[in-house]
Amino acid sequence: MFTLSWQPPYDWQWMFDFLAARALKGVETVTATDYTRSFAYGGHRGLIRVTPNLRASTLQVTLSDGLLPVREQCLARIARLFDLDCDPQQIVQALGDLGEARPGLRLPGSMDAFEQGVRAILGQLVSVAMAAKLAGRVAALYGEPLAQTDYVCFPTPAALAKADPLALKALGMPVKRAESLIHLAQSVVAGDFPTQTPDDIHSAMKALQTRPGIGRWTANYFALRGWQAKDVFLADDYLIKQRFAGMTPAQIRRYAERWQPWRSYALLHIWYTDGWAPSVDGEIAGIQ
């Protein structure tokens, strides 16, 4: 067992609820106290289970034997998934009133950027539940079963790069979306898709939008979770436009500049604060 730490406060119930709503059947299991998933790295495969110790502000991590040779990489991915390096006091100070109600909110990352890219593409124009179902079906069809368990590992880029778009379409997605997944996988195999966080996030997001089937929302959401970018704001998001009623996306982006360089956290707080609305003051009146 390994131990990672975090700076309190940390809203673990919210984080587990967030992950549970998006859990992939056969890949992830989320309970009230644990998060378990299959994982593969560098030819090594196994299960990861994490359990937060609220009193000690630590995360207990159990790796199956198959992942012990890549323990450092697994622990680094877990820290990214759960945003363990976050300084919550710094975020609260930067967000002001917006962050006061839920100072323990963290930015959910990902264990694997390619996997998150697949999830982001499948999440276009469908509910969270449907996106999870589709990704679970993709995993069941193209993932490799993990021996002596009921889990499968998420499909590798090589496996999806050779997928039949019609076979993916049969899982319940438009053929164009299937082709987008295959193109993404082929790009990763070719080495021209940035699976590591790029130095210039915003230029990289623009580059993503030149790829088939990836629009602005998908590129932004992928950056938010796949790269765990800290300063992304989805002004075109449906719920955000509801929160900023009467404002254009350009006006919303201008308003959100006050939360730089932590706009990703501001986005989460707005998403998960019922009834939130921007302040009505001279600052809004001056936004053009």
Model confidence at 133: pLDDT above 80: yes
pLDDT band for 281, please (50, 70, 90 cuts): low
Q: What is the pLDDT of residue 286?
A: 39
Close Cβ partners of 132 (under 8 Å, ≥ 6 residues apart): 21, 22, 23, 24, 25
Model confidence at 244: pLDDT above 80: yes
Task: Bin 191: left if φ > 0, else alpha if -120 < ψ < 50, else beta.
Answer: left
Burial of residue 86 (CB within 10 Å: 0-12, 13-18, 19+) is buried
**Same-domain status, 127 and 181:** yes
Q: What angle do CA 177, 207, 127 make, to 5 degrees?
A: 35
Model confidence at 282: pLDDT above 70: no
Residue 181 CA to residue 13 CA, distance in Å, equals 32
Q: What is the pLDDT of residue 287?
A: 43
Residue 273, token pair as written in the block: 């604060």
In this structure, what CATH number is given to the domain that contains residue 246?
1.10.1670.10
In a domain, 49, yes or no: yes
In a domain, 29, yes or no: yes
Model confidence at 285: pLDDT above 70: no
In a domain, 107, yes or no: no
- Specify whether 83 is catalytic: no
Q: SS3 of 266, please? A: helix
**Same-domain status, 44 and 137:** no
In this structure, what CATH number is given to the domain that contains residue 24?
3.30.310.20
Model confidence at 288: pLDDT above 90: no
Residue 172 CA to residue 166 CA, distance in Å, equals 10
**Same-domain status, 132 and 195:** yes
Model confidence at 284: pLDDT above 60: no
Model confidence at 32: pLDDT above 70: yes
**Same-domain status, 140 and 221:** yes
**Same-domain status, 94 and 125:** no
Query: Strands, DSSP E only, in 31-178?
Result: 35-41, 44-53, 58-63, 144-145, 152-153
**Same-domain status, 117 and 203:** yes
Domain termination residue (choose one: 100, 122, 154): 100
**Same-domain status, 117 and 219:** yes
**Same-domain status, 242 and 215:** no
Q: Which of 83, 112, 231, 237 is catalytic?
A: 237
**Same-domain status, 58 and 142:** no
In a domain, 47, yes or no: yes
Strands 144-145 and 152-153: antiparallel
**Same-domain status, 65 and 87:** yes
Residue 176 CA to residue 191 CA, distance in Å, equals 22
In a domain, 117, yes or no: yes
**Same-domain status, 258 and 176:** no
Task: Report CA-CA distances (Å) from 123 to 71, 181, 215, 217.
Answer: 31, 12, 12, 10
Close Cβ partners of 117 (under 8 Å, ≥ 6 residues apart): 184, 193, 222, 226
In a domain, 131, yes or no: yes
Read off the pLDDT of residues 74-84 as tens digits, 9 standing for 90 and up: 999 999 999 99
Which has more pLDDT, 287 or 240? 240
Read off the pLDDT of residues 92-101 as tens digits, 9 standing for 90 and up: 999 999 998 8
Q: What is the pLDDT of residue 274?
A: 87
In this structure, what CATH number is given to the domain that contains residue 127?
1.10.340.30
In a domain, 105, yes or no: no
Number of structural domains found in the chain: 3
In a domain, 232, yes or no: no
The model's pTM: 0.93
Q: Which domain holds residue 74?
A: 2-100
**Same-domain status, 212 and 271:** no
